[in-house]
Structure 1
Amino acid sequence: MTVTAIDATTSPFDLPRRLRSFASGGQPLRVLLTLGSLMALCALTGHQDAVIPLFLGAIASALSETDDSWRGRLRAQTVTLACFAAVSFAVAALFDTSWFFIVALSLAAFGLTLLGAVDARYKAIGYATLILAMYATLSMDHPDGLAHGRWNAPKLLLAGAAWYGVFSVGWAAIFPAQPVQALLVKLFMVLGGYVRFKASLFEPLRGVDIERKRLSLAQMNTDVVAELNAAKESIFRRIQIRKRAPTGRISRYRGLYLIAQDVHERASSSHDDYNALADAFFHSDLLYRCQRVLGLQGIACQRLAVSIARREPFDVGTDTVQALADLRSAIEHERANATTPQRLALLASVEALARNLAQLDGQLAGASQPSAQAGRTDMGLFDRSPHGWRDSVERVRRQLTPKSALFRHALRLSVALFAGYVVMRVIHPAQGYWILLTTLFVCQQTYGETMSRMGQRVAGTALGVIAGWAVLQLFPQPWLQSLLAVAAGVVFFANRRERYLLATAAMTQLVLMCFNQVGDSGMLLVPRLVDTAIGSAIAGAAMLLVLPHWQARRINELAAGAMRAHAGYLRQIVGQYKTGARDDLPYRLARRNAHNADAGLSKAVGDMFREPNFVRPRAGVVLRFLIRSHTLLSYLSALGAHRGALRAGATPGRVEALRAAAESAAVALDGLAMRLALDPAIVTDAPAVVEISPAEAAAREALAELVGPGDESDPAARLFRTQLTLVWLQIDALRDHADEWLLKAGAEAPEAG
């Protein structure tokens, strides 16, 4: 199974181009139109000195942009321009007052960073406002910055920002569904990759490192969850503004999103231990059949992404139907030859897997008519946006504690900017604000991202300086340099998220070309490189010295949150085994919360491994905990995928015993969450073994006694019992890892502080 199967519907050269253009969401084109028109206006009017502030204002406005409907974007643009006006005129007023200026800038950095607690929109606005403040200082600090009056630069910055806002709002009005389309393309591409990798687990090979593959799955699941969340928020903003049921493309895209949620749940589910399956069916092609079906379904997800990008009808094809028929035939053959109870029990798990794959295929087939999802009883999406200004203030207030990662980042950034200003005043007070701008760009919330930005920023600036020098020598014509400046701006916005080094080089090129329109930027080449190195070093030092928020020391909080979310998901599943399957909002919300918590834990573990060794002495235990947590979620997903009302059957009390065992498992997960949330300083004397309550012991004993003839007559109850048994095995392993983890943390607590 190779990616060539996807390319059967499109040219191998056409697909990457189309996907990149859709994934960009049109922003590079908006930047091209904005910068190109501004450059043309300045050239025609002879005001080349206005290019720098106009360009910088437009760039800051583009950095503040988030996905939204045109009405939402208009409101956001209004707030953005108000913030831009406040900081740009404040910079102009305080620019000559030195220490008053940097104190005000540091306080603004603290407050605007905390604004990110409200939601992603205000986070982008706050960050872009800080960037505009630095752009204002660059404009004021230029030798000709005050030639046309103190207030000229702020006005031009605002004009550039407003001009980009016109294109931004207009684009959102003309192409209202394009961002949703782009996000769904990315979602199904990432989901398809996840499904295809999941297929690699079904290899009947002995000695395969399943734990390593599960770790990779947990990391890939983080990407899938991020894309699901982005698509959901984009759809919700467009539904929210209409105040009525969506129609047309938005209705279709909402249906596709709900299909993606269901496919994700079914694809992430596990029905038994993979090593046990490989041992039992080592001499059979049964697992290869499973692998083929799942691999074809992953390819189908990616073909669906192509059809969304092209706005073409989707046909799931017949390959998977035939593969499912072959799988059922292989199961029947195995059943006819199975002789031991253990083999029959494992075969039952494969049968459950086959049913799950068949239902997954049905979901993909439904993507040809996604609007039919409107027949669901509950199509609601959960609103995570702030409800009024009181809610916004409360969100910010909750971050006003040193325990908050955002609070620490805000304080760290403020101190870094203050330190950068002091260094600038000592080294070269004139035209040294590039140090502060670099510090602002490099100083990120996590250690790993900050260190990565440091290297890429310095290397990108060096590359941009070298390229800029070459361009200045080879193309001295001002009009050609103007075109290159516009092109550099487009390259920056096309690459700033995934290729930061190239984006930095492009932005350096843009600044050099613009400054050369009003002076000799050749004199700025070496100072820009030196200032970048200094600003990066200050950001790195601040990350290490000013309230470092090491992921290794907060993993227990995230792990506790994951256990609570898993417990909530399990309770929702159990409720539907009582009343019957309903894909309602409470169930989908519990499922999203569980996956979000698991993805958050996985991301934090990834960030932890980018931190210095001395702050993560328990990394091995944390890694094993993550693998077990994700495995637990996969078993819960299997329970959710097969949920439905259980029949009482011929065995009295069987169903109630299963429900009691499930509720006991949820209680155990809540208890594990409480234990993980303990302060490590008080864990040193805690017992190494968690005492099992009488209720839990009774529930587990009753679950073990349910194996019997009733299994054959009620496959749903048998699957419920099998999955619950697997869930309890993971809970036991998680308890062991938590004990090892917490006891080590408690021993280190006096030293860690």
Structure 2
Amino acid sequence: MFSFSLDTFRYRLRQLAGQAQPLRVLLTLGSLMAIGSLSGHAEAVTPLFLGTIASALAETDDSARGRLRAQLVTLACFAVAAFAVLSWIDQPVFFIAGLALAAFSLTMLGAIEPRYKAIGFATLILAIYATLGTDGNAAASESARLREVLLLLAGAAWYGVFSVAWCAFFPAQPVQVRLVKLFSVLGDYVCFKASLFEPLRGIDVERKRLSLAQLNADVVGELNAAKEGIFRRIGARAPKGRIARYRGLYLIAQDVHERATSSHDDYNALADAFFHSDLLYRCQRVLSLQGEACRRLAHSIERREPFVAGPETGRALAELQSAIDHERTQVREPRRLALLASVEALAWNLAQLDGQLAGATEPSARAGRADMGLFDRSPRSWRERVERVRRQFTPQSALFRHALRLAAALMAGYGVMLLIHPVRGYWILLTTLFVCQQAWGDTVSRMGQRIAGTAVGVVAGWALLALFPQPWLQSLVAVAAGVFFFATRATRYLLATAAVTVLVLMCSNQVGDGDVLIVPRLIDTAIGSVIAALAMILVLPHWQSRRFSDLAATALRNHGHYLRQIAGQYRSGARDDLAYRLARRNAHNADATLSGAVFEMYREPGLVRPRAGVALRFLIQSHALLSYLSALGAHRAALHAPQQLAALNAEAEGAASALDALASYMEGVEGVEGASSDGGGEAASKPIDPATAVEADGDEAADHIARLFRAELAMVRVQIESLRDHAGRWMQPHADGADLAR
């Protein structure tokens, strides 16, 4: 019993550590509140709290050494911003010019990497917080203003102490959390993929593929986040201990992802051919069990327990193979035999996927890998950092447009503030800064949630002030509200806004009358939100329809490069080396970016997306193409017959060239006709029946790999033809005298 209780206690402690940032905020705010109360300086609590919030907003996942460097850079940026506000707060022209320039410059820093984006945004937040210390008190002495600034910086530094210490004491905990999320969403993807194997006629496969594209974007996002977390903790030497195991688990997740995204044939054709058989139900059961295995692996990582694969999937695979053997004795029709070969290839792929999951049971999770390297996308020098920013200095850049838009919105907000009520008016700027996002849908969502959350917060704050007049109880409520804000800001922004509103009211009531903030806070929030929304429409709007062609071209080129890497491994045999994994990851990243853009397009006003239907169908076909490429990658094996290999490589190169030509057409390159049938050469332009492709090399077992290669490549060609048709509709919507976009 004692052993069980001790294990449970350790698990609960690790769960508590998993709530990393809210717990750090609790420790920081709680200690600051205690210091302020015990020292008799309750008026110092508000700037200390605001400094803590700004510092926490600047935090990104990092190692202890990296977090220390980032914290020093953050404090330096905070100090420059705070003292600039202190110098220019009484000079409106200089103040707004400096704020606009800072908004543009700090936003552009996001081009370097997410760490700089967070620091830049938090610096702008702290600059606005610095104005709140003098808001409505223009007669304050220079020493009083300086004290407010120093308290802001002290609060930021105090949170930095907890942040760096946390990274030192729990170095691998953020990676563990990321892997838990990764295998959870991967399990969701695999379980949903299983629904494609229901042998029911008339299933809307395109709708399911659309959902898969969205789920795939979630998986890709978690893969990238897990990889960055591992990279932050890998130095010059090879990693050891838990980080080494986590790196192995990440590579297993990559391989499972490739096999799970694979498609081996048209699902409606499979359902028609095996409508009276339980073959597809057995495929569905295997995939469902493997999705559950991914979720159990996530649970074992969370509890730091050994992963046990279990015998259920193995039995289900054996039963599937038995059903395939039985079906082969019953089928005589060539078309059904071809489809049965696809099911057999699927069964082999599922067996390999099960083997990948079984590899997670090894303590090191290496599973015999020779190449464990990862590609570092972070800048390696200051020159590269400057170059990344320089490349974004173009009106075609969404980041450049957002930086100008944010600067203009803050200038407009400051002008409105001066016209309406310069006293306590800086909440307008703060609201504009929080609400104005790079995408229209996010801005509108933030606008509604910010206004509603502020209303809920002021009502809740008023009630709490009436119910708990004791200062020490109000202090506890303020700390709890700050913790709740960071626990919900990424998932429940309305509640997070309400929480931070309560925090401000509680803190303000410690040194004055918190009730006087209620009405101004509501008015300023509404004004700031409207300004942010108007800026999205009036200042360099960057609708997703303007980006779609470039994003589609990028996806097509990455698909072509992925296909070339796959074809190369049919010469040498399967190698999960860095070049192959990088090509695979780039293809999935481009697909996820395209998916995000299309879904964002449907959140924009209808007038700016007249061809959204074409974009949606292009996305579906692009993701289907990637699934067939993934199947080619999953079945990599060496082909030893030179003539056979040369012929298949020529076919693969023809398909890759067709993708390149289609990408050039989407980019508007002159002389490239994407809608013609000769865009990629004759080999790539004539889609052939997969059944014919399977039979092309005869029936000998030695030709199995070649037949499979050719069958999958035939499906790739079918997708290219569909993509070519959608590309023509997108680039020339009125080519036939009618709007083809609908």
Superposition TM-score, scaled by structure 2 size? 0.95
Return the letter of the residue paired with 1:642: H
| C-alpha contact (below 8 Å) 2:375/2:582 kept by paired residues | yes
1:695 offset after TM fit, Å?
Answer: 4.9
1:436 aligns with: 429
Secondary structure of the residue aligned to 1:517 is helix
> Equivalents in 2 of 1:454, 1:657: separation in Å?
58
User: Which of 698, 704, 707 in structure 2 is aligned with 1:710?
Assistant: 698
Task: Give the 3 Å change call, closer, same or farther, for CA 201–19 of structure 1 in structure 2.
Answer: farther
1:63 aligns with: 57
- When the two chains are superposed, the root-mean-square deviation of aligned CA atoms in Å is 2.2
> Equivalents in 2 of 1:142, 1:464: separation in Å?
22
Return the letter of the residue paired with 1:721: R
1:164 aligns with: 159
Task: Give the 3 Å change call, closer, same or farther, for CA 746–83 of structure 1 in structure 2.
Answer: farther
> Equivalents in 1 of 2:544, 2:324: separation in Å?
46
Gaps of 5+ in 1: 1-12, 749-753
User: Which of 318, 327, 339 in structure 2 is aligned with 1:334?
Assistant: 327
| C-alpha contact (below 8 Å) 2:687/2:721 kept by paired residues | no
Return the letter of the residue paired with 2:643: G
| C-alpha contact (below 8 Å) 2:661/2:674 kept by paired residues | no
2:710 aligns with: 721
Q: Tell me if 1:128 matches 2:128.
A: no
> Equivalents in 2 of 1:717, 1:221: separation in Å?
29
1:741 aligns with: 730
Secondary structure of the residue aligned to 1:183 is helix
Superposition TM-score, scaled by structure 1 size? 0.93
| C-alpha contact (below 8 Å) 2:666/2:727 kept by paired residues | yes
| C-alpha contact (below 8 Å) 1:662/1:724 kept by paired residues | yes
Q: Tell me if 1:572 matches 2:565.
A: yes
Counterparts of 1:130-209 in structure 2, within 5 Å, are 130-141=124-135, 143=137, 146=140, 148-209=143-204
User: Which of 88, 110, 115 in structure 2 is aligned with 1:116?
Assistant: 110
2:3 aligns with: none
Q: What CA deviation, in whole Å up to 9, does each residue of 1:635-670 have, x standing for no partner? A: 00000011010131xxx7322211110011001000
1:286 offset after TM fit, Å?
Answer: 0.2
1:660 aligns with: 650
Q: What CA deviation, in whole Å up to 9, does each residue of 1:52-85 have, x standing for no partner? A: 1110001100000000000000000000000000
Secondary structure of the residue aligned to 2:276 is coil
| C-alpha contact (below 8 Å) 1:657/1:702 kept by paired residues | no
Return the letter of the residue paired with 2:70: A
Task: Give the 3 Å change call, closer, same or farther, for CA 598–19 of structure 1 in structure 2.
Answer: farther
Task: Give the 3 Å change call, closer, same or farther, for CA 535–286 of structure 1 in structure 2.
Answer: same
1:98 aligns with: 92
Task: Give the 3 Å change call, closer, same or farther, for CA 488–258 of structure 1 in structure 2.
Answer: same
1:678 aligns with: 668
Counterparts of 1:441-520 in structure 2, within 5 Å, are 441-520=434-513
Task: Give the 3 Å change call, closer, same or farther, for CA 22–360 of structure 1 in structure 2.
Answer: farther
| C-alpha contact (below 8 Å) 2:560/2:657 kept by paired residues | yes
2:601 aligns with: 608
1:375 offset after TM fit, Å?
Answer: 3.8
**Paired positions, count:** 726
| C-alpha contact (below 8 Å) 2:328/2:337 kept by paired residues | yes
> Equivalents in 2 of 1:107, 1:23: separation in Å?
38
> Equivalents in 2 of 1:619, 1:663: separation in Å?
31
> Equivalents in 2 of 1:580, 1:264: separation in Å?
20
| C-alpha contact (below 8 Å) 1:189/1:305 kept by paired residues | yes
Secondary structure of the residue aligned to 2:732 is helix
Q: Tell me if 1:221 matches 2:216.
A: yes
User: Which of 241, 250, 254 in structure 1 is aligned with 2:247?
Assistant: 254
User: Which of 22, 26, 31 in structure 2 is aligned with 1:32?
Assistant: 26
1:152 offset after TM fit, Å?
Answer: 1.0
1:84 aligns with: 78
Once the two structures are overlaid, the 10-residue window that deviates more, 170-179 or 137-146, is 137-146
| C-alpha contact (below 8 Å) 1:23/1:185 kept by paired residues | no
Q: Tell me if 1:355 matches 2:348.
A: yes
1:702 offset after TM fit, Å?
Answer: 13
> Equivalents in 1 of 2:302, 2:39: separation in Å?
41
| C-alpha contact (below 8 Å) 2:693/2:714 kept by paired residues | no
> Equivalents in 1 of 2:291, 2:693: separation in Å?
39
User: Which of 264, 268, 272 in structure 2 is aligned with 1:271?
Assistant: 264
Q: Tell me if 1:689 matches 2:683.
A: no
> Equivalents in 1 of 2:77, 2:305: separation in Å?
42
Task: Give the 3 Å change call, closer, same or farther, for CA 132–74 of structure 1 in structure 2.
Answer: same
Q: Tell me if 1:589 matches 2:582.
A: yes
> Equivalents in 2 of 1:251, 1:565: separation in Å?
29
Counterparts of 1:325-404 in structure 2, within 5 Å, are 325-369=318-362, 371-373=364-366, 375-404=368-397
Return the letter of the residue paired with 1:134: I
1:689 offset after TM fit, Å?
Answer: 3.0
> Equivalents in 2 of 1:686, 1:261: separation in Å?
36
Return the letter of the residue paired with 1:459: A
1:715 offset after TM fit, Å?
Answer: 1.4
Share of identical aligned residues, percent?
69
> Equivalents in 2 of 1:495, 1:698: separation in Å?
51
1:477 offset after TM fit, Å?
Answer: 0.5
Counterparts of 1:512-551 in structure 2, within 5 Å, are 512-551=505-544
User: Which of 227, 233, 239 in structure 2 is aligned with 1:232?
Assistant: 227
User: Which of 720, 725, 738 in structure 2 is aligned with 1:731?
Assistant: 720
> Equivalents in 2 of 1:34, 1:462: separation in Å?
27
1:149 offset after TM fit, Å?
Answer: 2.3
1:439 offset after TM fit, Å?
Answer: 0.1
Once the two structures are overlaid, the 10-residue window that deviates more, 496-505 or 655-664, is 655-664
